[in-house]
Amino acid sequence: MMKNPIIAFLLAFFPGGGLMYLGKVLRGLGYMFGEIFLIVLTFVIGVTVGDAAFIVVFAGVFLYIVNLVDTAITGTKLFKNKQELSAESSEASDHELERFRTILLSFIPGVGHFQLGLMNRGITLLAAFLGLGVMVTFVAVLTHQGEFLMFWAILPVIWVYGFFDAIQQLNRKQRGEELVDRTILEDFEMRREGGKKSKSIATFLSIFPGAGHLYLGLQRRGIQLMAAFLFSIYILDVLRLGIFLFLIPIIWFYSFFDGLQKASKYGNEPLEDTPIISNLINHQKWLGIGLVLLGLYYLTTNILLPAVSPMIYDMINIDIRYWFDRYFQTAIVCILLIGGGLKLLFGKKEKKIVEQPNEEV
């Protein structure tokens, strides 16, 4: 009985499983025990020599990839070596071989579409996957802010969509349907009714704060939500105000559910582009004060302290930079909490004036 190469490749995600399924038991056991040995070695070395653990992890990943490639090549060879086929079974085997190749290549977004002749569709997915990964990495390295790597979470979404889209296009081809080589964005445009925005796309884009609002045309509201989310991450990281990290999920959840609400109303009632902070121009004084304080902070940490700290240490034997780095952020948190509390305690309360009708005597 002939082994199915697709099943073999799926079993290969457990090291050695695919090769054992194909009858290559010794080679499969070699991959399996090799991965187990490297995993155990990683934990043992990681306790004592942290740097060497990275080399072992790299070796484990390399062995895992070799296992997948070896299984794919072995399965393809066994599939091609089947000689005694009738005309009907030969056509079925060609379909199976095409399916196997497409599934194998689809593990890189867009390459499976190239196999099917859908060049424009494949380039769109490949460019989106690689472009996003490179852009996020570049920004994180350039700014030395590892928090930007959180946007890598979008990559699995693109990968899953590309993989299942390739399988769907393959099924259409094998059913005899004509494949149209159009990009993903063109697909979305084709599905829109009467030029309306897609509610499903707006919901999907709402995963990133403000993006769904911008898609629906709510420019001011979307930009404010996006700026609030990104600026909060940046400020809290720069000033190391970990106590206020709870603000980030609050902004995210507010933006996400607000985007869902706007998407559900789209088409049923007119949407008003109401900004989160109305009359922003009236608050420009506080915005200017914030920018001045942020500029003074960078001026102090990057120019004044490095220049003045050695001289003060030589004069009075006090490392002012150490005290600044150690206690300045804590002082900011204390001032903000105390100032906010005093504002709530002694803030002006609006008095409601109730007009009583004049009584006629």
Residues above pLDDT 70, as percent of the chain: 76
pLDDT at site 91: 54
pLDDT tens, residue by residue, 256-278: 888 888 888 877 777 777 777 76
Q: Is the pLDDT score of 81 beyond 70?
A: no
| 353 assigned to some structural domain | no
- What value does the mean pLDDT take over residues 354-360? 50
- 275-279 long-range Cβ contacts below 8 angstroms, 24+ apart: 275/220, 275/221, 275/224, 276/221, 276/224, 276/225, 276/228, 277/224
Of the candidates 69, 57, 59, 61, which has an alpha carbon nearest to the alpha carbon of residue 18? 69
d(CA 25, CA 137): 41
pLDDT tens, residue by residue, 21-37: 888 888 888 888 888 88
Of the candidates 65, 107, 103, 101, which has an alpha carbon nearest to the alpha carbon of residue 80? 101
Q: Is the pLDDT score of 92 beyond 70?
A: no
Burial letters 251-277, b for 16+ CB under 10 A, else e: bbeebbebbeebbeebeeeebeeeebe
> What range defines the domain where residue 20 resides?
1-82
21 shares a domain with 39: yes
pLDDT tens, residue by residue, 54-80: 677 778 888 888 887 788 778 777 766
Of the candidates 39, 109, 30, 106, which has an alpha carbon nearest to the alpha carbon of residue 70? 30
- What value does the mean pLDDT take over residues 171-176? 84
- Residue bearing the bigger pLDDT, 2 or 333: 333
| 203 assigned to some structural domain | no
pLDDT tens, residue by residue, 107-117: 788 888 888 88
pLDDT at site 226: 86
pLDDT at site 88: 47
| 355 assigned to some structural domain | no
104 shares a domain with 54: no
Number of structural domains found in the chain: 4
pLDDT at site 240: 63
pLDDT at site 342: 85
**By mean pLDDT, which of 64-68, 137-141, 222-226, 239-243 is the weakest?**
239-243
287 shares a domain with 272: no
Domain's final residue, options 164, 191, 218:
191
| 349 assigned to some structural domain | no
| 202 assigned to some structural domain | no
